[in-house]
Amino acid sequence: MSDTLADKNQVDSSKRTWLVTTGLAGAVGGASVAVPFISTFQPSEKAKAAGAAVEVDISAMKEGEKVTVEWRGKPVWIIKRTPEQLATLKKTESQLADPKSERKPDELTPAYARNEARSIKPEILVAVGICSHLGCSPSDKFQLGAQPSLPDDWQGGFLCPCHGSTFDMAGRVFKNKPAPDNLEVPPHMYLSDTKLLIGEDKKA
């Protein structure tokens, strides 16, 4: 006979036991298979190697000089600020959206850069040269005073050509501009007085 259940009202306990057990075991098996497959989405060793930290020799940098290096496909600016440029940082504070870099600190400003100069060594600024609005690379505007798209009391900094956001000499964004955040300070550390490593810091 091909009757399936002897009594349709009684639940067959052995079937139920094994159904539940199989279901659980199957779920465990399924998850275990899914994990390696989803892992293949993670950055490969090749991507990680390409994104490895970059060493920069800053011994030859002159005051006021800006060097750009590539890290993880992004431009990273290293600027040896002059004492005058450092002095402008206090003057711009009232015009800034986030003068103390309190917004998104874990993303934009590591602990060692949560200071006025936003850097480890006061004169060397390390910042990612990508505007926090829509990703264009701001232009250098180190000259003081009035210029097109800049206010009359411009203290020096950066102007993003795409939508007009401005940043000061510590990469901090001005108020009422399209860009919401300060420029990102990437993880970095000094291997020596002249060797800067961008992409890694002592915590990593």
Q: Which residues bind other proteins (CB under 8 A)?
A: 1-6, 12, 14-15, 17-19, 21-22, 25-26, 28-29, 32, 36-37, 39-42, 44-46, 48-50, 52
Smallest distance, other proteins to C-beta of residue 1, A = 6
Smallest distance, other proteins to C-beta of residue 91, A = 42
Residue (5 or 134) nearer to other proteins, CB: 5
Smallest distance, other proteins to C-beta of residue 124, A = 23
Half-sphere exposure of 145 (CA within 13 A, CB side): 1
Residue (32 or 94) nearer to other proteins, CB: 32
Smallest distance, other proteins to C-beta of residue 34, A = 11
Strand order in the sheet with 66-71: 66-71, 74-80, 124-128
d(CA 58, CA 146): 32
Residue (20 or 134) nearer to other proteins, CB: 20
Angle 109-124-50 from CA coordinates, rounded to 5° = 65
Residue (36 or 83) nearer to other proteins, CB: 36
Strand order in the sheet with 195-198: 54-57, 195-198, 188-190
Smallest distance, other proteins to C-beta of residue 47, A = 8
Nearest by Cα to 76 from 204, 201, 196, 164: 196
d(CA 176, CA 162): 15
Residue (22 or 149) nearer to other proteins, CB: 22
Residue 123's contacts (CB-CB under 8 Å, 6 or more residues apart) are: 63, 80, 81, 82, 83, 86, 117
